[in-house]
Amino acid sequence: MTDNQQERVATVVTAVMDRIREVIVEHKVTYDEYAAAKQYAIALGEAGEWPLFGDVFFESTVERVDSEGREGSAGAIEGPYYIPDSPLLERPYVMPMRDDEPGDVLIFSGTVCGADGTPLADAQIEMWHSDNDGTYSGIPYPDDRQLPPPFNLRGRFTTDENGRFEVRTIIPVPYEIPKGGPTGALLRAAGWHAFRPAHLHCITSAPGYASLTSQLYFDEDPYIDSDIASAVKPELTLQLTKHDDAADLAARGLDRPYFSTSYEFRLPRA
């Protein structure tokens, strides 16, 4: 470890310790409460929930600080449900899903550009999201829920020569983070809900550009203003438009109305 790294560790750790001591004094924390806090930290480790605890309560703040001054679109936390090597889709893009996948049809379109607005051909968008039950494929949940097939609602696709893309999927729903362990116990003790608003996860990349991790939300979601992970940003919030024209539905091979939304991803230079 270099001298600069050592100084950085000392500076940050000292600040964290000082803040904790200030809270203890300000709120007159008792020995019983101190003992309970130590036991809670032990329980988090034994349950393997330190990553979940950190992602829920701190990752969004780290992401905001780390991305300050960066060009291009706003970024977001990745979250704990990313799985690499999702299928590379072929046009017309449809996310991998079951034949009877429940949920409202969503047509998600947009462009990928450089920070200066130059369209980027053959940029890649890797997208994943929960199903209509709020469940992600490939995730070992601690309950007995029915899991979707492998790589359900996970896929990669590329932009055309004008930097454009369009993909069909379903609208995800709000979901609760796992709450059967210590993290959930803390939420109950504090009287907080465990919900995240519905969102699309995307990692967008192109040669010569820095990759961008996004979470895209929907403006009428009931949890848009109370995300337990505090990760929602106004510039990442989209509007949904309903389409029910019979000719349009027939042209798309749909037998029910669908919703659409769009977004422009702007990538900074690497």
CB neighbour list of residue 41: distance below 8 Å, 6 or more residues apart: none
Q: Residue 80: what pLDDT?
A: 87
Question: Secondary structure of 200-225 in the HEC alphabet?
Answer: EEEEEECCCECCEEEEEEECCCCCCC
Beta bridge partners of 176: 195
Structure tokens belonging to residue 167: 């993909």
What is the tens place of the pLDDT at every residue in 44-91? 999 999 999 999 999 999 999 999 989 999 999 998 899 999 999 999
Helix (H, G, I), strand (E, B) or coil at 165: strand
What is the tens place of the pLDDT at every residue in 169-207? 999 999 999 899 999 999 999 999 999 999 999 999 999
Kindly report the pTM of this predicted structure.
0.92
> What is the mean predicted confidence (pLDDT) over 2-21?
95
| Distance (Å) of CA 149 to CA 152, 203, 210 | 5, 22, 32
For residues 203 and 211, is the Cβ–Cβ distance under 8 A?
yes
Structure tokens belonging to residue 57: 């309560």
For residues 201 and 215, is the Cβ–Cβ distance under 8 A?
yes
CB neighbour list of residue 264: distance below 8 Å, 6 or more residues apart: 73, 110, 111, 112, 113
What is the tens place of the pLDDT at every residue in 192-251? 999 999 999 999 999 999 999 999 999 999 999 999 999 999 999 999 999 999 999 999
Kindly list the domain boundaries of the chain, sorted by start residue: 47-267
Residue 143 has pLDDT above 90, yes or no: no
How does residue 145 score in pLDDT terms, banded at 50, 70 and 90? confident
- Evaluated on CA atoms 89, 169, 196, 266, the torsion sign reads positive
When mean pLDDT is compared across 141-145, 222-226, 255-259, the lowest value belongs to 141-145
Distance between CA atoms of residues 95 and 152, nearest Å: 8
Q: Residue 142: what pLDDT?
A: 80
Residue 121 has pLDDT above 90, yes or no: yes
In the chain, what percentage of residues exceed pLDDT 90?
Answer: 94
- The DSSP code sequence of 81-150 is T--SSPPBP-SSEE----TT--S-EEEEEEEEEETTS-B-TT-EEEEE---TTS--TT---SS-PPPPPT
State the chain's mean pLDDT as an integer.
96
Which CATH superfamily is 47-267 part of? Answer: Aromatic compound dioxygenase (2.60.130.10)
